[in-house]
A = this chain, B = another copy of it.
Amino acid sequence: MRIVYVVPGPMGSTPEGKAELERRGRLLREFASPETEVDIIDVAQGPASIESMYEEYISIPATAELMMEMEAQGYDAAILGCFGDPGLDAMRELLTMPVVGPGEASFLTAAMLGHQFSVITIMQSVVAPTRWQVRKAGVGEKLASVRSIDVPVLELARDREATLERMIAEGRKAMEEDGADVLVLGCMTMGFLMVAEDMSKALGIPVVNPSRVSLKVAEMLVGARLTHSKRAYMTPPKLAIGKVKGSGELLVAKGE
Interface residues in chain A, defined as those with a beta carbon under 8 Å from any beta carbon in chain B: 9-10, 12-13, 31, 33-35, 42-49, 51-58, 60-61, 64, 87, 89-90, 93-94, 104-105, 108-109, 111-116, 123-125, 128-129, 131-132, 135-142, 152, 175, 181-182, 197, 204-206, 208-209, 212-213, 216-217, 219-221, 223-238, 247, 250-256
Contacts and interface: CB of A to CB of B under 8 A. Distances in A.
B35 A152 contact: no
Given A93-B54, A129-B89, A232 B139 contact: no
B229 A52 contact: no
Given A54-B236, A109-B226, A206-B228, A255 B114 contact: no
A231 B114 contact: yes
B136 A138 contact: no
Contact of A111 (B124, B138, B247): B138
Contacts of A140: 141
A120 to B, nearest CB: 15
Contacts of A254: 10, 12-13, 42-45
B139 A252 contact: no
23 contacts: A9-B252, A10-B256, A12-B254, A13-B255, A33-B33, A44-B254, A47-B250, A52-B235, A53-B87, A54-B94, A54-B247, A56-B90, A57-B57, A57-B64, A58-B64, A104-B112, A109-B220, A112-B217, A114-B229, A114-B232, A115-B132, A152-B238, A219-B219
Contacts of A113: 226-229, 232
A87 B46 CA distance: 16
A85 to B, nearest CB: 11
A238 B51 contact: yes
Given A57-B90, A58-B251, 11 more contacts: A10-B252, A33-B33, A43-B254, A54-B90, A58-B61, A58-B250, A89-B129, A108-B139, A112-B221, A115-B131, A213-B220
A87 to B, nearest CB: 5
Contact of A236 (B44, B51, B238): B51
A253 B33 CA distance: 33
Contact of A139 (B47, B139, B229, B235): B139
